[in-house]
């Protein structure tokens, strides 16, 4: 059994760890509230924009999507992998990285696959095995629509120039603080509309439906990427808050066990001292 001094040192060390993990949990909880509000407020807009685009496209003949809806034989693929810049968030980053690797192995074996990473953790691991054409760690320092739109425009240009035949987003979709859903979402080309779309014909379009669709497509793509990054950002703070909560609980349990061990060891030491005193007194009397 460890001596009392070693046990006291371990109890002090675990107490310090508990203070750190508890503080990180509270910080993540505060950041999560803001990030969660941002993504929940944005989703209705993004969904309505997609719905409007589908409704307009369904009433038009021919290919109104232009170069962004061009379906090509897939030989070159770009994966946009969204992770975080920091760790201590459980399996948040590893789940996205595993999903990206599995996607390549299952669907694009033998094809040329390159990555555009958003987040330091994903870039550090994936750059060892894949070609990373761009990395945008800085986006989380100032997460605004304009900054994300610049990245989306770069991706759209690369696709339009024929450098890639398909672009997919790999990220964690936010459900709640404890649950993140691994998501692989096609970004380009724009997927054709499936099924019948109900169209409200009471709208008056100016200058025209085709012009509006061509205007909406770039905006919709930028919004899609922004929503994915916002989802990932909220998921990161939810995962970190949950991880730090579990770490604090584990540290508390370990500290309690050590306190029990310390008290038992201290009690045993006192008992031994009493026995030695009694034994010495008996020896003197004899």
Q: How far is CA 104 from the centre of its chain?
A: 19
Query: CA-CA distance, 84 to 118, in Å (whole number)?
Result: 7
Query: CA-CA distance, 20 to 201, in Å (whole number)?
Result: 59
- Give yes or no for a contact between 73 and 161, defined as CB atoms under 8 angstroms apart: no
Please provide the DSSP assignment of 134-156 as one string: EE-GGGGGS--HHHHHHHHHHHH
Is 89 noted as a catalytic residue in this protein?
yes
Query: CA-CA distance, 257 to 270, in Å (whole number)?
Result: 20
Tracing tokens 């999903």 back to the chain, one arrives at 99
Beta strands 131-135 and 112-118, pairing class: parallel
Query: CA-CA distance, 95 to 111, in Å (whole number)?
Result: 23
Q: Which member of 89, 155, 169, 247 is catalytic?
A: 89
SS3 state of residue 83? coil
Please give the positions annotated as active site. Answer: 89
């Amino acid at each position: 059994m460890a001596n009392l001094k070693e046990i006291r040192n371990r109890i002090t060390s675990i107490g310090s760890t508990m203070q750190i993990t508890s503080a990180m949990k509270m910080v993540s909880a505060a950041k999560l509230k803001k990030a969660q509000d941002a993504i929940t407020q944005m989703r209705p807009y993004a969904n309505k924009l997609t719905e409007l685009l589908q409704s307009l496209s369904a009433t038009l003949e021919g290919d109104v999507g232009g170069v962004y809806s061009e379906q090509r034989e897939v030989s070159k693929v770009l994966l946009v992998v969204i992770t975080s810049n920091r760790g201590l968030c459980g399996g948040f980053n590893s789940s996205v990285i595993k999903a990206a690797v599995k996607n390549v192995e299952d669907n694009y074996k033998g094809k040329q696959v390159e990555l555009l990473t958003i987040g330091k953790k994903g870039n550090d691991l994936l750059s060892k095995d894949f070609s990373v054409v761009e990395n945008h760690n800085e986006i989380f320092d100032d997460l605004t629509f304009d900054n994300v739109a610049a990245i989306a425009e770069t991706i759209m240009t690369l696709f339009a120039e024929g450098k890639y035949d398909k672009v997919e987003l790999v990220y964690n979709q936010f459900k709640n603080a404890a649950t993140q859903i691994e998501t692989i979402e096609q970004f380009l080309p724009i997927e054709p509309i499936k099924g019948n779309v109900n169209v409200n014909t009471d709208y008056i379009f100016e200058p025209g439906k085709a012009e509006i669709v061509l205007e909406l497509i770039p905006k919709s793509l930028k919004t899609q990427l922004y929503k994915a990054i916002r989802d990932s950002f909220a998921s990161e703070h939810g995962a970190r808050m949950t991880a730090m909560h579990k770490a604090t609980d584990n540290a508390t349990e370990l500290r309690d066990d050590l306190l029990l061990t310390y008290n038992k060891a201290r009690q045993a030491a006192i008992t031994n001292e009493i026995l030695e005193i009694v034994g010495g007194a008996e020896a003197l009397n004899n």
